[in-house]
């Protein structure tokens, strides 16, 4: 296997972070600086900053977490990071991101391939949110945002907006992409302020009645479709 995958399986850090370490020339194999094409064979010695590491068998972990407002989706050791908030006994990583001011469903796993398969926009997986605005929802906003608008030089993909019955300022939106702070930026383009933003669903996995700061393991029924996507 390639050295970045080996490091990821060691539990030392994520495979993505391993690539950063390789680029920074902090990884050696048998005493020589590794590159991205370096492959590991039985008996090879891999070190990071001179510290030997060993790949281990990793039991896959897949959890759903209700991220509260104020928690940051990062593995960096800074105040309010999602890893310390969850305090899972095993090393896991967030699948994608949910900005600090937003709340709701986010998946976490130690399965690196799954992360890319879900978050890569080319696969157009659905994510559903409920949004509370500071002013009543207007038809112009719905029609134009559903068709796609330009925000900061990027064109948004078509999406689906559904006003919440019995309200004037709440709506649900289904996206198939994940530009940085996309919903907030789309709303700001029409002079709206987002008062509350909650992610309700990622693909077929729903937030349901999971309370803020709680997490749970994915069920067999939730997990099987995800693994089939990977196989495909």
- Catalytically active residues are 99
Residue 156 to residue 150: CA distance in whole angstroms: 6
Rounded to 10 degrees, the C-alpha dihedral 124/129/134/135 comes to 70
Task: Judge contact between 194 and 205, C-beta under 8 A.
Answer: no
Dihedral sign computed on CA atoms, order 177, 181, 184, 189: negative
Give the residue among 5, 59, 50 at the shortest CA–CA distance from 28: 50
Residue 17 to residue 8: CA distance in whole angstroms: 8
Give the residue among 162, 149, 9 at the shortest CA–CA distance from 91: 9
Locate the DSSP E strands across the chain.
Answer: 27-29, 32-33, 46-48, 51-53, 62-67, 93-94, 103-109, 127-133, 150-151, 154-155, 160-163, 170-175, 194-202, 205-206, 215-217
């Amino acid at each position: 296997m390639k050295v970045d995958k080996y490091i990821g399986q060691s539990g030392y850090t994520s495979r993505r972070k391993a690539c950063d370490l390789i680029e920074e020339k902090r990884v050696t194999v048998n005493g020589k600086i590794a590159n991205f094409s370096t492959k590991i064979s039985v008996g090879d010695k891999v070190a990071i900053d001179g510290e030997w590491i060993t790949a281990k068998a990793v039991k896959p972990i897949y959890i759903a977490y209700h991220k509260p407002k104020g928690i940051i989706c990062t593995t960096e050791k800074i105040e309010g990071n999602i890893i310390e908030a969850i305090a899972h006994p095993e090393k896991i990583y967030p699948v994608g991101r949910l900005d600090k001011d937003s709340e709701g469903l986010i998946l976490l796993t130690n399965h690196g391939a799954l992360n890319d398969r879900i978050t890569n926009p080319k696969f157009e997986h659905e994510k559903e949110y409920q949004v509370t605005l500071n002013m009543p929802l207007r038809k112009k906003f719905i029609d134009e945002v559903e068709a796609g608008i330009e925000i900061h030089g990027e064109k948004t993909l078509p999406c689906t907006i559904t006003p919440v019955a019995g309200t004037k300022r709440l709506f649900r939106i289904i996206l198939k992409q994940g530009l940085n702070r996309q919903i907030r930026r789309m709303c700001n383009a029409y002079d709206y302020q987002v008062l509350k933003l909650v992610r309700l669903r990622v693909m077929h996995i729903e937030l349901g009645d999971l309370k803020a700061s709680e997490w749970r393991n994915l069920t067999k029924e939730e997990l099987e479709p995800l693994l089939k996507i990977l196989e495909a």
